[in-house]
Each structure stands twice: as C-alpha cells, then as structure tokens.
Amino acid sequence: MNKLLIVGTVAFDAIETPFGKTDKILGGAATYIGLSASFFDVESAIVSVVGEDFPEEYVQVLKNKNIDLSGLEVVKGGKTFFWSGRYHNDLNSRDTLDTQLNTLADFQPKVPENFKNADVVMLGNLHPLVQSSVLDQMTETPKLVVLDTMNFWMDCALPELMEVIKRIDVITINDEEARQLSGEYSLVKAAAKIQAMGPKYVVIKKGEHGALLFHDKEVFFAPALPLEEVFDPTGAGDTFAGGFSGFIAQSKNVSFDNLKNAVIFGSNMASFCVEKFGTQRMEELTKDEVSNRLQQFRALTQFDISLQS
Amino acid sequence: MNKLLIVGTVAFDAIETPFGKTDKILGGAATYIGLSASFFDVESAIVSVVGEDFPEEYVQVLKNKNIDLSGLEVVKGGKTFFWSGRYHNDLNSRDTLDTQLNTLADFQPKVPENFKNADVVMLGNLHPLVQSSVLDQMTETPKLVVLDTMNFWMDCALPELMEVIKRIDVITINDEEARQLSGEYSLVKAAAKIQAMGPKYVVIKKGEHGALLFHDKEVFFAPALPLEEVFDPTGAGDTFAGGFSGFIAQSKNVSFDNLKNAVIFGSNMASFCVEKFGTQRMEELTKDEVSNRLQQFRALTQFDISLQS
C-alpha cells in the first residue's frame, strides 16, 4: 500500500457556533487530515505531539482508523495544545478565544523510519520550521508534498514560511491568506505570484464557495456541496487536505487531471465534516456515504453542453 | 426564429468603481439582457420606456444587435431613468448614490403584437405590476417565463411581487435576496421555500462565487470564471439573465438538463460584461470569444473521476 505521511497538530478544541457549544473535544489539523485520509487505500502515519493529559480514548479514535501513531510523541507532564474559538452567525468567520501552545511550543518532529520514504507528505498547518524539519528527514523524494498554512505564520514567521514553500509541490490556503501572501486581490493574480514562490499547484479554499486549483495558466474549480445545515466548520480545511492528499497517495498519479479529482475528493470529504460538531461526523462516516455523495458532486457540476459556436 | 420578449429598464447609469468613474452612460436591465441575448439565434424585442433625452446613438447600439425596439416607448418631454452607484473596494457591494425614476414612474408596458406569442419571456428587474402586466398581454402561454427581481421590491411591493412570482417558471435572484424572500439562511432551504411560492426553478446568483440552479431536490452549480481583473460588475446579473433566456429561447428546450446549460451560458456571458465599464465589452464582443470562453468553462468544471467506492 502507498504511504501518506501527515504532520500537524493533535489537539483539544472548544468550539462555539450559533447551534451549540462544546467542552474540550478531540481536534487538530493532523487529526482531521488523518480521519479524512483513512477513507482511501493508503498506509498513513501522523507525526505530532500531545501531553500526558491526552486521553487514551482519543488515541483510540485514530488507531481505529489504522493510522500509524509511532510518530505521535507524548510529553510526560506536558499538556496538549488547546484552541478555543467562536463562530459568527454566518459561520464564515470566527474569533479565537484562547490558544495554549503547551507541548507544541518545543515540538521537534520525528518521522518514523518506515515513513521516511512516504509517497505523499501532507504538511498540515504548523510552524514552517517544523514543516521543513519533516522534509529534511525524508530519505526519498516524495511523489508529492502538500503544505497547508495560515495567516498566523505569514504574520510571525514569514521568512521561514517562504523557505518551506520553495520545497513543496502544492500549497492549500484560503482566499484571504492567498491575498495576504501575494499582495494581490485577484485570486488569479495571487495564484500566479504564489506559484512563482515555488509550488507548481496552488489550491485556494473558499469555504462554502468551493475551492480553486491553479497550475500554470490552467484553473479548475470544485464547488462546496450546498448543504441544508452547516453545524461546525472546524476542521473542514484539514478534512479537505486529507481527502486531497489521501486520494493522491492512493492513486500515486500527480497529473493535473488527477489533481482535479483530488480537489473533488477533498471537497467531498469536507462536506461531511461540517455536518456535526468536531470530528463526530468523520468518525461515524462510511465508505458508502462517501461514494454516494461523490455522485452528488458529479450531478452538481457536470453538464454536456455541445459547445458549437 | 424563436422569439424572446425582454422587459426591463433602459437607462442612464453613472458608475464609480475602484478603477474609475463614468458620466451618464447606457445602462438598464433590458439593455444588458438584450445585448447578451443577441449572441443567440433568436428574434428579440425590448419593452421599456425612455425620455426624449435618450440619445439616438444608444438606440443604435441596440438596433445594431437586431433587437426589435417597437416596444420601446419614448415619452415626449420626459427624462430617462437614471441610476448612479459606487462600488466598494471588493466590488461585491455597492452604494446607490442616486435614483431618478423619471419616465419609469408611470410606465405602462405595451407588448408588440408580433411578440405576444414569444417563446420565452424574460421579465427583467422592474416593478412587479409591470412584470405582471406583460404576462397579461401574452396571447399564447410562453414555453418559459423567467423573472429577475431585487430586494427593493421585496421591501416596498411584496404582495405584488408574490403575485407575479406565482405565474413564472424561473426566478433569478441573488443570495441575500433569496434569504430575505424566504427567511432562510441556508440557500438549500431558501430555494425550497421559493419553489413553494410558484417557480419550478430557482437560480441563486452569487456574483464572483457563481450561480446555483435548484429544481425539486436537484441542484446544479456554475462557477464564475476566475478573472484577472474585474472592472465593473454593473449589469452582470442582467447579462447572466440574457444569456440564460437567450439560450433557452434558441433551443426551446426547457428540460432541467438544458437549464443547466443555460446557467453555464449565462455565466459565460456575464464573465465578459464585468471586464470593462458599462456595456462596452458586450458591444464589442464576438461570437468567437463567446465560444472560446465556453471551452474555458468546460475546463474549469469538468472532471472524469471514476466514482467507484
């Protein structure tokens, strides 16, 4: 089986949306990426760190999905990274209420020996030096390296971010972040500038408005599935990244046409994530549901116009 | 040739965007609809009103596109409807600076005899009583009646709007207006409620984020083409409506699958409209450009994933 290496946070989240509120629950970029990628035929491993307070029950959630956790460091006496946020009424924006780095502050990632030749590396949102360190440890050049990041790192670690961006194939980023990173308002221009920084492919995530994939002069668009209810957008971007990288790892095909498919698979996975709080929907999700909703994506976007003039 | 009857304003617009400013130029819903529909093999007519101040040069713009103007009333001594607006930096919102109804205030539409059997009726944004009056004058039931409206009429003529909505097949409306009309935030729920008001098809326009077509439990999505530059969004919604209704009139096929195509054609036409100020781009546009960009729409959205589980 092909191998997918995932780096990112494994965390506690406390979430408030217009529909309810949670105490500390399982969260983190690597968690969502891992759960999402587990729907593909890949061998995946998470490299991350937690504290001694991280419950066995949450470890089990990831183990149940056959995710290799030999790269998950547990710091004795340490506390797990904690994030708390409140979404606005439209669910498109949120305020961070609390961030406690805890064990994440001194995290030195250690890639397990048997994943140093992973086919695909998914660098989830983390300090760019941690992302770089993972790439340094690879013994074989991966078929594809995907990086997710956010405005926080552009604000406080831009030189380090620019360094790691040079080394990757695909960046996934939201629209506002693409504008910030490039200084361009037009997403077409922003994507061109970001490609010039290194990555051959730029994925711009627009939340409920879908995702764009840019490559050279080409562009592909995948809509978000229009849903009756969105309960909690937390983890949707990471779930997208998990579907994207999981599909590529499974197929080991890095053509532009296959990356289009990966964007569709990513959007498909993300459409489930938002239906319940936290990781709940992803934990209970079945392969049949995934496959049925892919048909909905096809119906949503495919047409057979004859394009005569 | 099949017939398309267009009702809407023919107007003067004064526009300010971050990229520049115009004096009074040719504008109005029926103008944009007519220019857009002229790219299809249809015989189209505009029913509208202008004042004596409306220049022959602007009449000629419409005549050059073979649009029948026998239903365009010129009020002696009257002044033409005038709208002036300023767009915000993101071009997604605007302030109306001035509205002068002028001859539009007492407008009684008169459908030309030879268009009372039009195949498709496109009711552009106007007072709902004017829209109703046009339907009253039809001697044959059109294959399809499409209505465009806006929040202004929901605020000040809701009962009249609800009456005309009962009589149409397709409503085109933007996302905020769909929410206002239905009282639902979710566009899926909003579309269901609006369908219950009468129209079998609901098109929700999301500007740069594309357009959704709802019918029963089905939904189709057409993205907006990602553009390097958007100069002026004025008339984009009307240009969409013109492409949508023009394509349906040309094909005379009102199946859901063909309405999907109409949404693509509408989006395609709208993508040109925003590239220059006012009607300029639509006036100089060629059929070859239209046809080439349709290929871009195909490339933007079509994928050939094999959807096995």
d(CA A271, CA A234): 12
C-beta separation of A213 from A220 below 8 A: yes
Cβ-based neighbours of A258, under 8 Å, separated by 6 or more: A248, A251
Give the residue among B188, B244, B254, B178 at the shortest CA–CA distance from B216. B188
Shortest Cα–Cα distance, B92 to chain A (Å): 13
**pLDDT for position A308:** 45
Cβ-based neighbours of B99, under 8 Å, separated by 6 or more: B82, B83, B84
The helix (run of H) or strand (run of E) holding residue A11 is strand A11-17
C-beta separation of B173 from B203 below 8 A: yes
Query: What Cα–Cα distance (Å) separates residue B216 from each residue in A303, B72, B190, B194, B263?
Result: 18, 37, 12, 11, 17
Shortest Cα–Cα distance, B138 to chain A (Å): 31
Query: Does A301 lie at the interface with B, CB-CB under 8 angstroms?
Result: yes
Query: Does A226 lie at the interface with B, CB-CB under 8 angstroms?
Result: yes
- pLDDT tens for A4-39 read 999 999 999 999 998 889 999 999 999 999 999 999
Residue A284: pLDDT above 90? yes
The helix (run of H) or strand (run of E) holding residue B309 is none
**pLDDT for position B309:** 38
**Tokens matching residue A254:** 């890095």
C-beta separation of B151 from B261 below 8 A: no
d(CA B89, CA B174): 20
Which domains, from first to last, does chain B contain?
3-300 (3.40.1190.20)
d(CA B52, CA A104): 73
d(CA B108, CA A248): 61
Cα angle B182, B184, B187; round to 5: 95
- pLDDT tens for A122-145 read 999 999 999 999 999 999 999 999
Map residue A136 onto helix, strand or coil.
Answer: helix
Contact B303 A264 (CB under 8 A): yes
- pLDDT tens for A158-194 read 999 999 999 999 999 999 999 999 999 999 999 999 9
Shortest Cα–Cα distance, A47 to chain B (Å): 28
Give percent of chain B above pLDDT 70.
Answer: 99
ipTM of this complex: 0.90
d(CA B159, CA B152): 13
**Tokens matching residue B288:** 């070859």
Q: Within chain A, what is the greatest distance between any pair of CA atoms?
A: 70
Q: Find chain A residues with C-beta within 8 A of B247's C-beta.
A: none
B-contacting residues in A 78-137 (Cβ below 8 Å): 90
What dihedral angle (degrees, nearest 10) is formed by the CA atoms of B65, B67, B73, B75? 10
Model confidence, pTM:
0.93
- B27 DSSP 8-state letter: E
Cα angle B213, B217, B223; round to 5: 25
d(CA B120, CA B202): 16
Q: Find chain A residues with C-beta within 8 A of B303's C-beta.
A: 220, 257, 260-261, 264, 301
Count how many Cα atoms sit within 13 Å of the Cα of residue B309 in the half-sphere of its side chain. Answer: 8
**pLDDT for position A306:** 64
Query: Does A227 lie at the interface with B, CB-CB under 8 angstroms?
Result: yes
**pLDDT for position A92:** 80
**pLDDT for position B306:** 64
**pLDDT for position A143:** 97
**Tokens matching residue A266:** 């990513």
Q: Which residues of chain B have pLDDT under 50?
A: 307-309
Which of B182, B304, B305 to substitute to test the interface with A, most A CBs within 10 Å? B305
Quickly count: other Cβ atoms within 10 Å of residue B21's Cβ. Answer: 10
Amino acid at A188: V
Phi, psi for A100 (deg, rounded to 5): -120, 105
Q: Find chain B residues with C-beta within 8 A of A189's C-beta.
A: 228
Residue A309: which pLDDT band, with cuts at 50, 70 and 90? very low
d(CA A159, CA B151): 47
- What's the whole-number average pLDDT of chain A? 95
> What integer is the mean pLDDT of A221-243?
95
Contact A260 B303 (CB under 8 A): yes
- pLDDT tens for A65-98 read 999 999 999 999 999 999 999 999 888 889 999 9
Shortest Cα–Cα distance, B300 to chain A (Å): 4
Amino acid at A155: D
- pLDDT tens for A298-308 read 999 999 876 44
Give the residue among B259, B287, B37 at the shortest CA–CA distance from B46. B37
Which of B176, B179, B217, B221 to substitute to test the interface with A, most A CBs within 10 Å? B221
Query: Does A193 lie at the interface with B, CB-CB under 8 angstroms?
Result: no
Which of A305, A306, A308 to substitute to test the interface with B, most B CBs within 10 Å? A305
d(CA B184, CA B40): 36
Give the residue among B78, B149, B136 at the shortest CA–CA distance from B110. B136
Burial B36-62 (b: 16+ CB within 10 A, else e): bbbbbebbbbbbbbbbebbeeebbebb
Contact A220 B90 (CB under 8 A): no
Q: Which residue among A90, A301, A309 places its CB closest to the CB of B288?
A: A309
